[in-house]
């Protein structure tokens, strides 16, 4: 376990460095926003395209894997939603809390860290997890919030959802890379080297940006944030593990990658959605902060358990 912790430590150390730079105001919020933009639109997109372009479709899409991840995630989603209803929260607010419990930082933290820790073969399963998060759950929260506020789902809402997916660089880069692979094309050496160099900036840039963004987070509503962090770091990987290992018979290695991905802390894009809808942004912010700090230990434990077989 110590060996795994030492392997994950450099990744979290980069987050800590970003946090210190942001806390000392050496790296202001404006700089964090621009760094995040560079990583999101360029470095991470290059990494995802290169991963997808080098994979076969069978290495990315596995129906049993998708069913297990969706099933385990939906169980946690419904559990957190039920707890929110029992606390008297409206549907829109419950949806935001449920989003915290199932959407991990797969893009900025999971892709670079889990590929490094679990091997290059982890790229396919991670991309499928990221696709489900982006397409299914990001759409679900929008539909729930819109339906709760307007009483119905309009065609315009569905059109905006589709346009949003088409404009998301992570979705576009994965789809383009997969299309490249399906066409039987191979990247020319200069293009592959270009994407390798650009994609290499994704890991340090993304982790530093995560830390810098955490420097401005506040820790309000600690009891609720602690519950949501527990749901994300503990309940989510447990539910996914149960679905993968006992219900859908996912291959052991792919199941391990899925469980590790489910153990990641709350994603920053949940805060963006909460702020956009004006629903509990401080609560989400605190959940991101607490889950990220706690994941230094919990992710190491989960990865250690997975690698131990």
Q: State residue 284's pLDDT score.
A: 87
pLDDT at 252 over 70: yes
CB 34 within 8 A of CB 42: no
The tokens for 181 are 């692979």
CATH architecture of 2-307: Up-down Bundle (1.20)
Residue 77: closest CA among 207, 308, 182, 231 = 231
What average pLDDT does this structure show over 288-292? 90
The pLDDT tens digits of the residues spanning 142-166 come to 888 877 666 655 666 667 667 766 7
- To the nearest 10°, report the CA torsion of 281, 286, 291, 293: 140
Residue 131: closest CA among 164, 95, 100, 106 = 106
Give me the residue label for tokens 């707890």.
83
Give the pTM.
0.86
Mutual angle of helices 281-307 and 91-102, in 10-degree steps: 30
Query: What mean pLDDT is reported for the chain?
Result: 87
Structural domain boundaries in the chain:
2-307
pLDDT at 233 over 90: yes
The tokens for 9 are 């430590």
Q: State residue 269's pLDDT score.
A: 82
The pLDDT tens digits of the residues spanning 25-47 come to 888 889 988 998 898 889 989 98
Q: State residue 221's pLDDT score.
A: 65
In degrees and rounded to multiples of 5, residue 231 shows phi and psi of -60, -40
- Specify the higher pLDDT residue, 94 or 55: 94
Neighbours of 294 (CB within 10 A): 17
The tokens for 219 are 């820790």
**Cα–Cα dist 75/244, whole Å:** 13
**Cα–Cα dist 125/129, whole Å:** 6
The pLDDT tens digits of the residues spanning 100-115 come to 999 998 888 888 889 8
Residue 106: closest CA among 293, 266, 214, 275 = 266
**Cα–Cα dist 174/232, whole Å:** 25
CB 214 within 8 A of CB 82: no
Residue 158: closest CA among 136, 137, 143 = 143
The tokens for 291 are 């889950």
């Amino acid at each position: 376990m110590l060996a795994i912790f030492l392997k994950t430590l450099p990744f979290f150390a980069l987050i800590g460095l970003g946090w210190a730079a942001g806390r000392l105001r050496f790296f202001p919020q404006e700089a964090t926003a621009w760094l995040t933009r560079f990583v999101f639109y360029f470095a991470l997109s290059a990494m995802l395209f290169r991963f997808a372009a080098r994979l076969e479709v069978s290495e990315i899409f596995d129906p049993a894997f998708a069913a297990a991840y969706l099933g385990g995630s939906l169980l946690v989603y419904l559990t957190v939603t039920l707890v929110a209803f029992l606390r008297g929260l409206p549907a829109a607010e419950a949806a935001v809390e449920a989003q915290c419990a199932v959407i991990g930082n797969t893009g900025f933290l999971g892709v670079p860290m889990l590929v490094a820790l679990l091997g290059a073969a982890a790229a396919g399963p991670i991309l499928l997890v990221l696709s489900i998060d982006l397409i299914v759950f990001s759409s679900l929260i929008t539909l729930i919030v819109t339906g709760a506020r307007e009483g119905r789902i309009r065609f315009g809402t569905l059109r905006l959802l589709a346009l949003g997916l088409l404009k998301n660089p992570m979705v576009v880069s994965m789809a383009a890379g997969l299309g490249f692979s399906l066409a039987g094309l191979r990247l020319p050496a200069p293009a592959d080297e270009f994407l390798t160099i650009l994609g290499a900036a994704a890991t340090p840039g993304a982790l530093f940006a995560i830390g810098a963004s955490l420097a401005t987070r506040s820790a309000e509503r600690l009891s609720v944030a602690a519950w949501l962090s527990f749901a994300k770091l503990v309940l989510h990987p447990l539910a996914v593990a149960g679905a993968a290992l006992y219900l859908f018979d996912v291959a052991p290695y792919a199941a391990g990658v899925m469980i590790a991905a489910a153990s990641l802390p709350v994603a920053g894009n949940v805060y963006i959605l909460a702020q956009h809808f004006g629903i509990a942004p401080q609560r989400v912010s605190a959940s991101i902060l607490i889950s990220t700090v706690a994941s230094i230990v919990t992710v190491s434990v989960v990865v250690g358990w997975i690698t131990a077989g």
